[in-house]
Amino acid sequence: MTISRPLRVLVVQPMYGGSLPVARYAASGLRSLGHLVEEFDAPDFHSAFTALKRLRVTLDRLEHLENSFLQVVSQAILAKVETFRPDLVLALAQAPLSRQALRRLRSAGTATAMWFVEDFRLFTYWRAFAPLYDFFFVIQKEPFLTALQEIGVANASYLPLAADPAFHKPTPLTPLEQHQFGSAVSFLGAGYPNRREAFKHLLGMDFRLWGSDWEDSAALRQVLQRGGARIAPEEAVKIFNATAVNVNLHSSVKADPPVQPGDFVNPRTFELAACGAFQVVDARSLLPELYAPDELATFSTLQEMKDLIQASLADPTARQAMAAKARARTLAEHTYAARMQRLLEVVAERRPGWPADAEQQPGAGQAGAANPLRDLPPDLQAAVRQRLESLGAPPDAPFKDVIWRLRQQPGELGSLDTALLYLDALQRQYSGE
C-alpha cells in the first residue's frame, strides 16, 4: 500500500542493549524513505538510571526508585509526542515506555508500534506490553505469533532484521588497520555459554575474538582482543572486512551442544553480508527464505563448523564469490529502508484512515492546512526547493515539517533559513497559536 505523504515518525530508543543500534538504523532507513524522523535519545538517561544501583539501599526501595525513574522517562516521551505530533511512535525492544504511557497514546489516537528484536523465549516482558501497542513486529514466527494472538494482539507481524548499506559496506583498510583488525578467522559478539564452548575448538587457528563478557574464560583469554572491551560499530565493520572467515554463531544460554537449532536470524548475518565479508553461520529455520544456499555457508554441528572454516580458508575464490552474492541479495531485499517500508505498509493496510492528511492531524488547525511556500515568487521557490533537498525533505513537504527540520540543524542559520523561520513565526501569530 502506498503511503500518501511523508510521515512524522518518533523512534523511541532503548536506554542500552543490542536493540539500540537497530533503533538508529531504523531511523536512518525511515529518513532515506523521505520521512521526517525524530529520535528519543533514551541512552541520555542511562547513566542516571544506573546511578540508582550505587545508592546502597534495600532491594524493594531500589525497585521503587527504578520504576519511578522509568515513569519520568515515559513522561518525557509523552512530552516529545505532544511537541512533535508524530503519525507513528515506533519503539524498539526495551524502550522505556510504560504501560500507562502506552494507554495515554492509545486514548489520544496516536498510532504505536514496537519492533521486538529479541528472542521471545528469553525475554518474556512482551506478555505485559504487546497488547498495549497497536502493532507488534517480531523476528520470529511460530509459535510466537500464535502466542501473541492468544493474549489479544491482533496486529502482530513477522519482520526480520536487516543491514544499513550506508554503514555496513566494503571498507578499504590501510596496512595498519589490516594488521590491527585482521586475522584468518574471527568472531565478534558477546560471550554466551555455547560460544565459549565452541570457540575453544578454534584455538589452533589464526583466530581473534572480539567483544565483551568473555573475561572469566581462561581458555579464550589468549585470543581475546582489547581485554574484552566493547567494539564500536565503526570498528566492527573494519573487523568484518579484515577477516578472511567471519564466524557467525547465534547465541544460546546453554553450552551443550555448542551449535543448537534456532529460528530467528541475528543482525550480524545481514551486516556481514552487506559488508561483502565472507561468513560461516549456523543453520536457522528462517534463514532459507532470506538467503539461497549459494549465498551463505551454513553449518549444523561443531565439527561441520570446523570443517567449513578449513575448507573456506583453502578456497579464497569461492569465498569471494559467495560473499558477493550475499551482498547483492542484502542490498536488494534486506535493508532497513526495505524493512521500514514494509512496517509502514502494514500499519497503513490495517489502520483505516492512517495516515491522516497533514491538515487533519490533531492540533494542526488552519496553520497546518496553509503552506506559505506555495505563494513565494518562482525564483525564491527554486531556492527553497534546493534547501529542502539539502534537508532531506521532499519538494511537497508540509511547511511545518520544513520548519521542524530547520530547527534540528546545527550551526548558524543562513538568510533563507532565517526568512523561513520568520515566516513561520508570522503564520503562528496570525493563526493564534
Q: Across residues 151-160, what is the average pLDDT?
A: 97
DSSP summary character for residue 160:
-
Give the sign of the dihedral formed by CA 350, CA 351, CA 352, CA 358: negative
Which residues on neighbouring strands pair with residue 279, listed in sequence order? 246
pLDDT at 221: 93
What backbone phi and psi angles, to 5 degrees, belong to 195? -70, -40
Burial degree of 81 (CB within 10 A; 0-12, 13-18, 19+): buried
Which amino acid, one-letter code, is at 45? F
**Cell numbers placing 85:** 505530533
Residue 76: in which H helix or E strand, if any?
Answer: helix 59-84
**Cell numbers placing 198:** 565452541
Proportion of the chain above pLDDT 70, given as a percent: 92
pTM of the model: 0.85
Residue-range domains of the chain with CATH: 8-162+336-350 (3.40.50.2000), 175-333 (3.40.50.2000), 361-431 (no CATH)
- Residue with the bigger pLDDT between 263 and 362: it is 263
pLDDT at 362: 47
User: Does position 433 have pLDDT exceeding 60, yes or no?
Assistant: no
Give the sign of the dihedral formed by CA 241, CA 275, CA 315, CA 310: positive
| DSSP-derived pairing of the beta strands 243-248 and 183-188 | parallel
pLDDT-based confidence at 427, cuts 50/70/90? low
d(C-alpha 348, C-alpha 104), whole Å? 21
- Residue with the bigger pLDDT between 359 and 211: it is 211
d(C-alpha 397, C-alpha 375), whole Å? 15
d(C-alpha 338, C-alpha 21), whole Å? 17
pLDDT-based confidence at 29, cuts 50/70/90? very high
With b for 16 or more beta-carbon neighbours within 10 A and e for fewer, the 185-199 pattern comes to bbbbbebbebbbbbb
d(C-alpha 313, C-alpha 422), whole Å? 63
Tens of pLDDT, residue by residue over 364-419, are: 444 444 566 666 677 777 777 777 777 766 666 677 777 777 777 777 778 777 87
d(C-alpha 290, C-alpha 277), whole Å? 17
pLDDT-based confidence at 432, cuts 50/70/90? low
d(C-alpha 7, C-alpha 16), whole Å? 27
Tens of pLDDT, residue by residue over 296-325, are: 999 999 999 999 999 999 999 999 999 999
Which residues on neighbouring strands pair with residue 266, listed in sequence order? none
User: Does position 360 have pLDDT exceeding 60, yes or no?
Assistant: no
Residues in the chain: 433
